[in-house]
Amino acid sequence: MLICPLDYRYGRKEMKAVFSEENRLNTQLLVEAALARAHAAVGNIPKEAAEVITAMATPEHVRLERVKEIEAETKHDVMALVNAISEQCGDAGRYVHLGATSNDIVDTAAALEFRAALDIVQRDIDTLVITMCALAARHRGTVMVGRTHGQFAIPTTFGFKVSGYITEMLRHRQRIKELRPRACVGKMSGAIGTGAGFGNSFFRVQELVMNDLGLGVEEAATQLVGRDRYAELVFVLSLISTSCERYATEIRNLQRSEIAEVAEAFDAKKQVGSSTMAQKKNPMLSENISGLARVVRAYVNPQMECMVLWHERDLSNSSAERFILPHVAVLTDDILAKMNDVFAHLSVNERNMRRNIDSANGFIMAEAVLLALASKGLGRQEAHELVRKVAMQAEADGKGLKEALKANNAVMKLLSAVELDAVMEPTNYVGKAPEMVDRTIWQAQAELGRKIL
């Protein structure tokens, strides 16, 4: 019986495989083998024993089913693993797990999972950035209404809107790079982290294991790798997911019937929007992203709680992290993939963008008029008050702003009708938005180290 939606509805195979039972076993076997090789390198165990352990510490020889059988008896997952390896190694089995404690294996294996997960997330981000750059380039000059407080503000371009998303994702890419050496860290320092179980060779054994596995070293562990590292990982992934929710929310808003400026792709031949309202075309992917991002964020607090343990450790973090870490990674990957799908196939309705601009009756150009009047010598505050009064009265009278301005003597003394027409053309008031799109794409190309367009 399947209960968790990750098992039957959400998530992609590659990321799920990273946090699968099978890969968890495989990574822990890799750590046990690396430990044996390190012991052999410093002369603690025979080289031949390390070779046997390395050969046998593989999923082909240590079966997941056998580990579970032993755990059912021992009630201890790592001891079950150790016993399962040992029984495959003959006399060399007595050297398995020498000097180590459970979390030397568990936390170091988790670091291998984190590394693989972060590789996937970084690829996801790169793919999304490339998709958004193409969209921004196509619409660098596509003029639309900018909105603040849910109200018309001034003109912008759709490409510039997307450029803001690109730069945000590039910051997340930097966060992943900065996070990697802090999150991908293991330990091989025994009970409570003093290294006593490894004797005089402790520092060298730990160094050899982590170099072998390509991981950093927890400098002063308790019995665990510091859970601030895990909390940072979860928080960064929740930031990425929340950014995607921000973009998805904008798509959902702009797809509203009364706005209708963009729309998710919809297969009119097959796709169903509603079980009863046959005409519906809903932004379902964007809504899905919004819902999943809220789940990811919800895991930040329990992972923070996992930082607070008794003395050198307790077990209150373990059960929680078995939920937190796979769910956060799998859902973040799923969200990024869906966000890329939305942007890759997004329909942009330039005609409706212009319709909405025109429906503003010129009021979105109030700032442009204000600044034009100021350029003619009127004080900035005086210009603001003049335009404000004209705008308020025009709205009350049901008139357009341009009509009201042309009827105002104070305005027309400073601006000719031709000048006012030019000032109030929305396409003339998008600032350097198109150029900022170009700069954003250049930045993305530099960050990714490749030509995008």
Read off the pLDDT of residues 297-327 as tens digits, 9 standing for 90 and up.
Answer: 999 999 999 999 999 999 999 999 999 999 9
| 268 confidence band (pLDDT: 50, 70, 90) | low
Residue 134 confidence (pLDDT)? 98
Give the HSE-up count for residue 84: Cα atoms under 13 Å, Cβ half-sphere. 29
Lookup: tokens for 172: 């997340």
Residue in this structure with the two tokens 């193409």, named with its chain if needed: 134
Asked if pLDDT for residue 381 goes beyond 70, the answer is yes
147 with 153: CB under 8 angstroms? yes
Which of 284, 262, 273, 287 lies closest to 346 in space, CA to CA? 262
Residue 270 confidence (pLDDT)? 75
The percent of residues above 70 in pLDDT, for the chain, comes to 97
Domain covering 16-95, topology: Fumarase C; Chain B, domain 1 (1.10.275)
Asked if pLDDT for residue 89 goes beyond 80, the answer is yes
Residue 48 confidence (pLDDT)? 97
Residue 267 confidence (pLDDT)? 67
* Mean of pLDDT over the chain: 95
The residue-averaged pLDDT of 17-42 equals 98
Chain CA centroid to CA 410, Å: 53
Check residues 268 and 388 and name the one with the higher pLDDT: 388
Lookup: tokens for 170: 């590039």
C-alpha 128/C-alpha 48 separation (Å) is: 49
Just list the catalytic residues. Answer: 149, 274
CATH of 363-423, one of 1.10.40.30, 1.10.274.10, 3.40.630.10, 2.40.290.10: 1.10.40.30
Residue 278 confidence (pLDDT)? 62
Q: Where are the domains positioned within the chain?
A: 16-95, 102-355, 363-423
Q: What are phi and psi for residue 347, nearest 5 degrees?
A: -95, 125
Residue 281 confidence (pLDDT)? 75
Residues 6+ apart with CB under 8 A from 39: 45, 50, 95, 98, 99, 201, 205
The residue-averaged pLDDT of 109-128 equals 98
Residue 453 confidence (pLDDT)? 86
The percent of residues above 90 in pLDDT, for the chain, comes to 94
Asked if pLDDT for residue 280 goes beyond 70, the answer is no
Asked if pLDDT for residue 274 goes beyond 70, the answer is no
pLDDT tens, position by position, 54-75: 999 999 999 999 999 999 999 9
Give the type of residue at 448: L
The residue-averaged pLDDT of 410-415 equals 94
Nearest-Å Rg of the Cα atoms of the chain is: 30
Asked if pLDDT for residue 177 goes beyond 80, the answer is yes
Check residues 27 and 265 and name the one with the higher pLDDT: 27
235 with 211: CB under 8 angstroms? no
Residue 275 confidence (pLDDT)? 60
| 276 confidence band (pLDDT: 50, 70, 90) | low
Check residues 278 and 190 and name the one with the higher pLDDT: 190
> Maximum CA pair distance of the chain?
102
pTM of the model: 0.95
Residue 282 confidence (pLDDT)? 85
Distances (CA, A) of 33 to 70, 79, 199, 296: 20, 15, 19, 34
pLDDT tens, position by position, 196-252: 999 999 999 999 999 999 999 999 999 999 999 999 999 999 999 999 999 999 999
Asked if pLDDT for residue 130 goes beyond 90, the answer is yes
CATH of 102-355, one of 3.10.129.10, 3.20.180.10, 1.10.3720.10, 1.20.200.10: 1.20.200.10
96 with 28: CB under 8 angstroms? no
Residue 266 confidence (pLDDT)? 73
Sign of the C-alpha dihedral computed for residues 213, 219, 223 and 229 taken in this order? negative
* Number of CB atoms found within 10 A of residue 296's CB: 26
Residue 271 confidence (pLDDT)? 72
